[in-house]
């Protein structure tokens, strides 16, 4: 069944992706491919050496908060 929905090749995996409101990840075929492409773009542009811990202060307090209590 060929309807008049145009398709494009997913930049990540090359699979045909529907260019339609039904596909919120266009021009990618799926959310995964969009995230992969975004991740590659970010790593290329910013050269992130590692996970940024500064943006999440709570991460620094990991294991120290909860005064007087079992962690489980
Ligand atoms: Zn894809």
Q: What is the pLDDT of residues 31-62, one digit of tens each?
A: 999 999 989 888 876 665 666 666 666 665 65
Is 17 a member of any domain? yes
- SS3 assignment, position 9: strand
Is 56 a member of any domain? no
Is 33 a member of any domain? yes
Is 23 a member of any domain? yes
Is 46 a member of any domain? yes
Structure tokens at 9: 């090749």
Which residues, by Cβ under 5 Å, contact ligand 1, an ion?
A: 10, 12-13, 15, 29, 33
Is 71 a member of any domain? no
Is 1 a member of any domain? no
Is 21 a member of any domain? yes
Mean pLDDT of 4-23: 94
Kindly give the distance from the C-alpha atom of residue 65 to the centroid of ligand 1, in angstroms, as a whole number: 42
| Cα 43 to Cα 38: distance, rounded to the nearest angstrom | 9
CATH code, domain with 22: 3.30.50.10
Given pLDDT bands bounded at 50, 70 and 90, which one contains residue 69? low
What is the span of the domain harbouring residue 22?
7-50
Kindly give the distance from the C-alpha atom of residue 37 to the centroid of ligand 1, in angstroms, as a whole number: 9
Kindly give the distance from the C-alpha atom of residue 30 to the centroid of ligand 1, in angstroms, as a whole number: 6
């Amino acid at each position: 069944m060929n309807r008049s929905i145009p398709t494009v090749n997913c930049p990540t995996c090359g699979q045909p992706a529907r260019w339609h409101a039904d596909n919120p990840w266009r021009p990618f075929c799926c959310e995964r491919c969009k995230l992969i492409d975004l991740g590659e773009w970010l790593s290329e542009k910013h050269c992130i050496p590692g996970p940024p811990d500064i943006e999440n202060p709570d991460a620094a307090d990991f294991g120290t908060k909860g005064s007087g209590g079992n962690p489980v």
